[in-house]
């Protein structure tokens, strides 16, 4: 029986995933000479920064990464430097030190973008959530974002009173596509994962929801292209979806 809906945030509740793309693209182009297309960005979509940045750095040309480390004064110990010279691979400790700096830069520039340009919720999302609560369905957020960003976004959308619980990247050791954040959100609600339906805009998030044992639906209303390969059902307009639709999707997937 469907008892709760657990929603991703960026690209699902508000059209912010495209902003993350713009910010990350600009950082990569400026600092590492790599400008990912929207399609290339999709494989990182929904993955929290501590996992995403090492993935990106390990896939880039090592000379570009080493140059950035030198520019930012990040060094590895002597043996690691020697190994890097022999193998052409960037030392792991350097990868993680750079990742920490890039994560900080990402959120700093994201905050600046939001302050300057704002961010919008998807049409009908507040009314959709209100209708679910009135129908007895509980609500939570499961996101790779930061807790402060979640609180701010829920306030911006005027939906904080509708969301009973939130699980973020700061709550879980493993981010999406691992199931941890969805399982943590369900636990905070006190609801069995099989009694939940997840709404996600990204392939990594859909995989995480399925690994958590939840029914799921894909939302593709964002400007950023969506990977809906793993979505049993897809919708793009909250104004056209009802609580009964969600119950039917849940029954079809978990009956």
Residue 80 has pLDDT above 60, yes or no: no
Q: Do 191 and 112 share a structural domain?
A: no
Residue ending a domain, among 73, 99, 117, is 117
Q: Does 155 lie in the same domain as 35? A: no
- When divided into structural domains, the chain yields a total of 2
**Residues of the chain with pLDDT > 90: what percent?**
78
Asked if 105 and 143 sit in the same domain, the reply is no
Q: Do 173 and 249 share a structural domain? A: yes
Q: Does residue 109 contact residue 21 with C-beta atoms inside 8 Å?
A: no
- 231 shares its domain with 136: yes
| Of the candidate ranges 40-44, 55-59, 129-133, 161-165, the one whose mean pLDDT is the lowest | 40-44
What dihedral angle (degrees, nearest 10) is formed by the CA atoms of 104, 108, 114, 117?
A: -130
The predicted pLDDT at position 116 comes to: 92
- The structure's pTM equals 0.88
Q: Looking only at Cα atoms, what is the longest distance across the chain? A: 63
Q: What is the residue range of 179's domain?
A: 4-16+120-254
The answer to whether residues 182 and 69 belong to one domain is no
Question: Residues 100-122: pLDDT tens digits?
Answer: 999 999 999 999 999 899 888 99
Examine the domain organization and report whether 139 and 209 are in the same domain.
Answer: yes
Other CB atoms closer than 10 Å to residue 224's CB: what's the count?
Answer: 22
**Residue where one domain finishes, among candidates 117, 143, 178:** 117
Residues 181-239 pLDDT 10s: 999 999 999 999 999 999 999 999 999 999 999 999 999 998 888 889 999 999 999 99
Question: What is the DSSP secondary-structure string of 126-175?
Answer: HHHHHHHHHTT-EEEEE-SS-HHHHHHHHHHTT-TTT--EEE-TTT-SS-
Q: Is the Cβ–Cβ distance between 7 and 139 less than 8 Å?
A: yes
> Domain boundary at 92, 117, 142, which?
117
The answer on 109 and 135 residing in a single domain is no
**One domain for residues 72 and 104:** yes
Confidence bin at 85 (pLDDT 50/70/90)? low
């Amino acid at each position: 029986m469907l008892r709760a809906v657990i929603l991703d945030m960026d690209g699902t509740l508000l059209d912010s995933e495209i902003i993350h793309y713009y910010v990350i693209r600009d950082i990569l182009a400026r600092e590492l000479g790599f400008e990912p297309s929207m399609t290339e960005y999709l494989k990182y979509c929904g993955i929290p920064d501590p996992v995403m940045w090492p993935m990106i750095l390990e896939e880039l040309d090592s000379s570009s990464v080493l140059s950035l480390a030198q520019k930012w004064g990040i060094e590895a110990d002597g043996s690691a430097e020697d190994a890097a010279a022999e193998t052409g691979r960037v030392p792991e400790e350097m990868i993680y030190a750079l990742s920490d700096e890039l994560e900080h830069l990402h959120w700093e520039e994201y905050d600046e973008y939001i302050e300057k340009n704002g961010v919008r919720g998807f049409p009908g999302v507040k009314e959709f959530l209100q209708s679910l609560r009135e129908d007895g369905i509980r609500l939570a957020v499961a996101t790779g974002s930061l807790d402060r960003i979640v609180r701010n976004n829920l306030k911006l959308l005027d939906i904080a009173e509708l969301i009973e619980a939130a699980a973020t990247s700061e709550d879980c050791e493993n981010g999406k596509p691992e199931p941890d954040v969805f399982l943590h959100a369900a636990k905070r609600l006190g609801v069995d994962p099989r009694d939940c339906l997840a709404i996600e805009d990204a392939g990594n998030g859909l995989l995480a929801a399925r690994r958590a044992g939840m029914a799921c639906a894909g939302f593709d209303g964002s400007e950023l292209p969506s990977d809906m390969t793993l979505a049993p059902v897809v919708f793009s307009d909250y104004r056209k979806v009802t609580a009964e639709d969600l119950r039917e999707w849940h029954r079809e997937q978990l009956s």
